């Protein structure tokens, strides 16, 4: 639909014409000026209106990546080309929920020129997002009129979990600066399980590493070097229940778990292991453990449009489902948000899983708990709130202690602490040879 509106200049001229009309009541000269000026404005506005309708719609093109990370600012580029000189405003019809910067954009295009502009787009929801088209406001050659036009330019992009963290991990790993992510560097002295090579003795090598027969033959100390076992399997058991909808910032606990899952999966691949995935208490998605760097792409494609459900968490069903699918021993990482009332079913599920697998339970803790703890007690109500919170946290700690007593490993962290905590525990399990 083409909507024409008077521009600011035409409104100003009309206001001046109105002043002349008022003055014509008191002076014959002003009456003549008002009539001449009024006819001139009408004639000029008519010509400008016709010129505006004859203006061709600029040719537009949108350029952005086919996949974008959730919650990260990404550039969107718009290319505009036109034949006559033109002033216009541009507003890209972006999908929601999202946040943008540098929109709308006002620009003047000289004749036969092509211009590229850019704005920033931050998606707030994973899945498929549609950019339907672009809104335009064209101004007539004499700026008396403006016209709204809409150009359909449909483009679908996939909003993935935040894979930007993987890029940061890769960069820091290459520069040996993983400590900036909170990842502790494991002490390695060549004492893994798999034989790697023979080498000269180094200070710090244990006596059991020395190969005495080879040392005698070469008349110098020779050590055997081992590496951690490779091609072990890591299964992420991802909770998709309604509890994972909780939010501490613009990301839900579910999205925080997805980001951490991808980062740990990439770390496992770098260690030569094979990550896999099973979701429960929502849409069921199963990705068998597989090595190779393309596994990250498979995980992204499995997870990018997955959303938490309104179901309650069923840990027992999840354990039974995993045992039917996964026969080889693996490290099973359960990503969830525990409550003390979960313990009866969770302990049963844990008993089934631990018969064959090593289990690590990663639970997210709400930031509001710590914020409430730090608030000063200034009234009876705040004292009751503090006492209730302490009781809740005590039961939460007791729930984790019960899990540890059953032989499982557990962590209870804030969402932003989850990636580093998971990687550290994964590396510690590798070094302890529990798999």
Q: Among the listed ranges 78-87, 226-235, 269-278, which one has the minimum average pLDDT value?
A: 226-235
pLDDT of residue 100: 93
**278 vs 237: CA distance, rounded Å:** 5
Nearest to 238, CA basis, from 182, 179, 308: 308
Summarize pLDDT for 20-47 with one digit per residue, the tens: 888 888 888 888 888 888 898 999 999 9
Strand pairing of 222-227 and 194-200?
antiparallel
Q: What is the 3-state secondary structure (H, E, C) of the chain?
A: CCEEEECHHHHHHHHHHHHHHHHCCCCHHHHHHHHHHHHHHHHHHHHHHHHHHHCCCCEEEEECCCEEECCCCEEEEEEEECCCCEEEEEEEECCCCEEEECCCEEEEECCCCEEEEEEEEEECCCEEEEEEEEEEEEECCCCCEEEEEEEEEEEEEEEECCCHHHHHHHHHHHCCCHHHHCCCCCCCCCCCCEEEEEEECCCCCCHHHECHHHHHHHCCCEEEEEECCCCCEEEEEEECCHHHHCECCCCEHHHHHHHHHHHHHHHHHHCCCEEEEEEECCCCCEECCCCCCHHHHHHHHHHCCCCCCCCCCCHHHHHHHHHHHCCCCCEEEEEECCCHHHHHHHHHHHHHHCCCCEEEEEEECCHHHHHHHHCCCCCHHHHHHHHHHHHHHHHHHHHHHHHHHCCCEEEEECHHHHHHHHHHHHHHHHHHCCC
Domain 1-160 has CATH 3.30.2350.10: no
> Given this chain, do its domains 1-160 and 177-183+230-432 carry the same CATH topology?
no
pTM: 0.73
> In the chain, what are the domain boundaries?
1-160, 177-183+230-432, 194-227
Does pLDDT of 172 surpass 60?
no
pLDDT of residue 266: 87
Summarize pLDDT for 318-361 with one digit per residue, the tens: 999 999 999 899 999 999 988 777 778 888 899 899 989 999 99
Token pair recorded at residue 373 = 């703890």
pLDDT of residue 279: 95
| Mean pLDDT over each residue of the chain, to the nearest integer | 84
Does pLDDT of 381 surpass 90?
no
**395 vs 389: CA distance, rounded Å:** 10
Summarize pLDDT for 189-223 with one digit per residue, the tens: 444 455 556 777 777 677 777 777 888 888 788 77
CA distances from 257 to 84, 138, 246, 251, 336 (A): 53, 46, 12, 10, 8
- Which CATH number describes the domain made up of 177-183+230-432? 3.40.50.410
pLDDT of residue 175: 45
């Amino acid at each position: 639909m083409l909507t024409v509106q008077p521009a600011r200049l035409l409104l100003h001229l009309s206001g001046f014409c109105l002043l002349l009309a008022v003055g014509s009541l008191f002076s014959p000269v002003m009456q003549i000026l008002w009539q001449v000026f009024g006819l001139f404005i009408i004639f000029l506005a008519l010509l400008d209106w016709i010129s505006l309708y004859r203006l061709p719609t600029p040719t537009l093109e949108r350029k952005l990546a086919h996949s974008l990370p959730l919650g990260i600012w990404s550039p969107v580029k718009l290319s505009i080309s036109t034949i006559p000189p033109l002033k216009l405003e541009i507003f890209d019809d972006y999908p929601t929920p999202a946040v943008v910067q540098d929109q709308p954009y006002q620009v003047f295009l000289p004749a036969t020129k092509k211009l590229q502009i850019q704005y920033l787009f931050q998606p707030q929801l994973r899945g498929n997002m549609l950019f339907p088209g672009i809104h335009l406001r064209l101004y007539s050659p004499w700026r008396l009129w403006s016209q709204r036009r809409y150009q359909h330019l449909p483009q679908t992009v996939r909003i993935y979990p935040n894979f930007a963290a993987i890029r940061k991990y890769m960069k820091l790993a290459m520069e040996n600066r993983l400590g900036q992510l909170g990842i502790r560097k494991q002490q390695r002295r060549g004492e893994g399980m798999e034989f790697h090579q023979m080498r000269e003795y180094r200070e710090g090598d244990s006596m059991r590493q020395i190969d005495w027969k080879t040392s005698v033959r070469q008349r110098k100390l020779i050590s055997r070097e081992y590496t951690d076992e490779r091609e072990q399997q890591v299964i992420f058991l991802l909770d998709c229940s309604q509890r994972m909808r909780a939010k501490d910032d613009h990301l839900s606990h579910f999205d925080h778990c997805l980001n951490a899952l991808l980062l740990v999966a990439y770390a496992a691949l770098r260690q030569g292991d094979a990550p896999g995935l099973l979701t429960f208490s929502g849409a069921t998605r199963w990705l068998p453990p597989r090595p190779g760097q393309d596994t990250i792409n498979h995980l992204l494609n499995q997870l990018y449009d997955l959303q938490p459900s309104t179901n309650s968490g069923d840990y027992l069903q999840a354990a039974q489902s995993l045992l039917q699918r996964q026969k080889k021993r693996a490290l099973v990482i359960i990503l969830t948000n525990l409550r003390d009332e979960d313990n009866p079913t969770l302990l049963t599920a844990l008993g089934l899983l631990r018969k064959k697998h090593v289990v690590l339970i990663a639970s997210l803790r709400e930031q509001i708990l710590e914020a409430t703890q730090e608030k000063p007690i200034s009234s009876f109500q705040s004292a009751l709130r503090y006492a209730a919170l302490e009781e809740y946290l005590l039961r939460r700690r007791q729930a984790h202690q019960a899990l540890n007593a059953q032989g499982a490993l557990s962590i209870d962290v804030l969402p932003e602490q989850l990636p580093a905590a998971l990687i550290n525990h994964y590396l510690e399990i590798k070094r302890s040879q529990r798999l």
